[in-house]
Amino acid sequence: MIAAGKLPLMLCFLAFVVTFVLTRTITRMIRDGRGPFRNQVTASGTHIHHSVPGIILLIIGAFTAVGGPSSLGWRSFAAVAVGIGTSLVLDEFALILHLQDVYWSGEGQLSVEAVSLTAACLGLALVGFSPFGVKHVDVLEMSLRLTATGILITDGVLAVICVLKGKYRSALFGLFLPPIGLIGALRLARPSSVWARHRYRGRRLERATRRAANFDQRWAPLQTDWEDFVGGKPSQPNPPASGDVQR
């Protein structure tokens, strides 16, 4: 059973996951030269990346949610459009970030990480975790609301500390699961973070550097294996860094 009001969110989550799976399946078939798909999505000779229809669907979904009827049908339509559009855009997140076609390079794996984090947060929200507190209506409503507000503020502070310490995943998941944010805020910062640059010197910086290296040595291979499994193993070298972009 779906909790009241959760149908649009569930549809958004399903549309997001299914779209990503189908997109990666098709692109991997194109790369391998298998199946009916070909790399020929062009308009007047210009390759159209799938982030373009993704942005269009995001706009349609956002405008429908903001200005459309409030009926469940229209809300569900907006949720599906947002889910599909977000998936298509995030699947090319690395391309948008680097302004280069890095889809099948090592840098392109950043897209898989962005999709995985987004899917995890949508899943947490769907099963009931929320960064916006809970609503109660009873004789203790005021105290419950004040408590929820205090927890929310504390949670936000912990998330900011995690960001300053370079622990972006802890900050993101900490919004839904406060203990994760607390652990991230208490532990040593990443040596390249803003927090470390301004507060760490000498032995403390060496300790942070050593701990980060040990963490990356232990967990980076698992993350790489997961990204290769989900998004496909990179088959192209990372392109050289582009110069300043003229705007």
Task: Say whether pLDDT at 17 is over 80.
Answer: yes
CB 50 within 8 A of CB 88: yes
User: For residue 99, is it within any domain?
Assistant: yes
Over residues 215-222, the mean pLDDT reads 83
Domain count, the chain: 1
User: For residue 65, is it within any domain?
Assistant: yes
User: For residue 7, is it within any domain?
Assistant: yes
| pTM score | 0.66
* Residue percentage of the chain with pLDDT more than 70: 80
Q: Is 215 helix (H, G, I), strand (E, B) or coil?
A: helix
User: For residue 106, is it within any domain?
Assistant: yes
Identity (one letter) of the amino acid at 77?
F
pLDDT band for position 18 (cuts 50, 70, 90): very high
Over residues 131-143, the mean pLDDT reads 54
| Averaged confidence pLDDT in the chain | 80
What tens digit of pLDDT does each residue of 163-184 get? Answer: 889 887 888 788 777 888 899 8
- CA separation for the pair 188, 159 (Å, rounded): 15
**DSSP assignment of the chain:** -PPTT-HHHHHHHHHHHHHHHHHHHHHHHHHHT-SS--S--EETTEE--THHHHHHHHHHHHHHHHHS--SHHHHHHHHHHHHHHHHHHHTTHHHHHHTS--TTSGGGHHHHHHHHHHHHHHHHHHTT--TT-----STTHHHHHHHHHHHHHHHHHHHHHHHHTT-HHHHHHHTT-HHHHHHHHHSPPPTTSHHHHHH--HHHHHHHHHHHHHHHHHHHHHHHHHHHHHH----SPPPPPP-PPP-
Residue 4 has a pLDDT of 56
User: For residue 190, is it within any domain?
Assistant: no
Residue 125 has a pLDDT of 78
The conformation of residue 43, written as its DSSP 8-state character, comes to E
Task: Say whether pLDDT at 65 is over 60.
Answer: yes
Tell the residue number behind the tokens 């990179």, with chain if given: 234
Domain range spanning residue 118?
A: 1-128
Q: Which residue has the higher pLDDT, 20 or 154?
A: 20
Over residues 151-164, the mean pLDDT reads 83
Using alpha carbons, list the distances in angstroms from residue 232 to 18, 22, 27, 68, 229: 17, 13, 9, 39, 6
Tell the residue number behind the tokens 């809300």, with chain if given: 75
- CA separation for the pair 16, 77 (Å, rounded): 13
- CA separation for the pair 8, 68 (Å, rounded): 14
User: For residue 198, is it within any domain?
Assistant: no
Weakest mean pLDDT among 37-46, 131-140, 180-189, 216-225: 131-140
User: For residue 46, is it within any domain?
Assistant: yes
Task: Say whether pLDDT at 152 is over 80.
Answer: no
User: For residue 234, is it within any domain?
Assistant: no
What tens digit of pLDDT does each residue of 115-128 get? Answer: 888 888 888 777 76
Residue 79 has a pLDDT of 94
